[in-house]
Amino acid sequence: MRIRIGYDMSYEVWKPTPLIGMLNVHSSRAWQLENSDMMMTEPHVPVSTYTDVFGNLCFRLVAPKGVIRLHADAIFRDSGAFDEVCLSAVQHEVQDLPFDTLQFLLPSRYCDTDLLSDVAWKLFENTPTGWGRVQAICDFVHNHIRFDYQNSDPTRTAAQGYNLGVGVCRDFTHLAIAFTRCMNIPARYCTGYISDISLPPPWGAGDFCAWMEVFLGGRWWPFDPRNNGPRIGRIKIAHGRDAADVPLVHSFGAHRLASFTVWTDEVVDQVAGQLA
């Protein structure tokens, strides 16, 4: 399956302003790109790249005064399969976890496990360990939080999201991550593209999305408390402890988002009909 992915966004700044961010397909899946998803800028400015502590490819630039446009357009070759499901994936004892997973058990900026531990154990102590427990957490979060774009707050923590019961995909993900960590299962925050392929219309406006990956049975698995089901065309850009680690664009100065468009669309090859 060929999927067209990309974005076109513009920011207005009132003086030269440094920007960093993450907008490239993650290195673990970059080999599936048919053409480069290199970010272009208008006006043209020098862009450098680096790899952060989580292995994410990041960009760095200085936006000149005025409006700067960031855009990319690429074709991604996907298997066309839904997210993998493994109901038998086991939960590891903490002492048996790989060292590099331990940081994803700890509280972080938006996943305040210290405030949610008692709630998590009351809700999920009697659920099956492993895959079943994580799915129970996703089911609860999916039903507990009401999705509403108008109730987005970039400073909202998992505990605040639990108390408010409303938010956007990052709020679903932060709460599910916090609960999962409270139950001694490593969980990390992911951002990237999610398509509507195979879903009936109407389709929502394109956007980057958040989900989590959970360490079970010796590997990381995607779970999506917002949509709460396997999807086709889930393409990761970056992962970290929570949203603070994976900003799509972070501005070191005042700015205004002037425009924002994202697409994740199946490319249907057109075959010309033949005359009899």
Tell me, what CATH number does 17's domain have? 2.60.40.2250
16-20, 146-150, 156-160, 251-255: which has the minimum mean pLDDT? 146-150
Q: Residue 268's pLDDT band (boundaries 50, 70, 90)? A: confident
Task: Give Dmax over CA atoms of the chain in angstroms.
Answer: 72
DSSP 8-state assignment for residue 33? B
Identify the domain containing residue 69 by its residue range: 2-80+248-266
Q: What is the pLDDT of residue 273?
A: 42
- 48-51 β-sheet, strand order: 48-51, 57-63, 17-21, 249-251
Tell whether the model's pLDDT for residue 275 goes beyond 60.
no
Same domain, 116 and 225: yes
Tell whether the model's pLDDT for residue 269 goes beyond 90.
no
Tell whether the model's pLDDT for residue 254 goes beyond 80.
yes
Instruction: Say what percent of the chain tops pLDDT 90.
Output: 90
H or E element that contains 172? helix 169-182
Mean pLDDT of the chain: 94
Quick check: 259 and 11 in contact, CB under 8 A? no
Average pLDDT score over residue span 89-101? 97
Tell whether the model's pLDDT for residue 103 goes beyond 70.
yes
In the chain, the number of structural domains is: 2
Q: What are all long-range contacts of 139-145, with beta carbons under 8 Å and residues at least 24 apart?
A: 139/228, 140/179, 141/172, 141/175, 141/176, 141/179, 141/225, 142/172, 142/225, 142/226, 142/228, 144/175, 145/171, 145/172, 145/175
Overall residue count recorded for the chain in this entry? 276
Tell whether the model's pLDDT for residue 206 goes beyond 90.
no
Q: What is the pLDDT of residue 199?
A: 85
Same domain, 112 and 175: yes
Average pLDDT score over residue span 138-162? 94
Same domain, 113 and 178: yes
pLDDT tens-digit series, residues 56-86: 999 999 999 999 999 999 999 999 999 999 9
pLDDT tens-digit series, residues 153-194: 999 999 999 999 999 999 999 999 999 999 999 999 999 999
Q: What is the pLDDT of residue 68?
A: 98
Same domain, 228 and 137: yes
Closest CA to 224 of 114, 134, 92, 90: 134
Positive or negative, the CA dihedral 103, 26, 250, 191 is negative
Q: What is the pLDDT of residue 270?
A: 60
Tell whether the model's pLDDT for residue 96 goes beyond 80.
yes
Q: Residue 152's pLDDT band (boundaries 50, 70, 90)? A: confident
Q: Residue 207's pLDDT band (boundaries 50, 70, 90)? A: confident
Same domain, 61 and 98: no
Same domain, 149 and 117: yes
Strand ranges inside the chain, DSSP E: 2-13, 17-21, 40-42, 48-51, 57-63, 66-77, 146-147, 166-167, 187-194, 208-216, 219-223, 234-240, 249-251, 255-266
Residue with the bigger pLDDT between 236 and 196: it is 236
Residue type, 54: F
Strand ranges inside 154-233, DSSP E: 166-167, 187-194, 208-216, 219-223
Q: What is the pLDDT of residue 222?
A: 97
Same domain, 239 and 123: yes
Same domain, 115 and 234: yes
Same domain, 254 and 194: no
Q: What is the pLDDT of residue 274?
A: 41
Domain contains 272: no
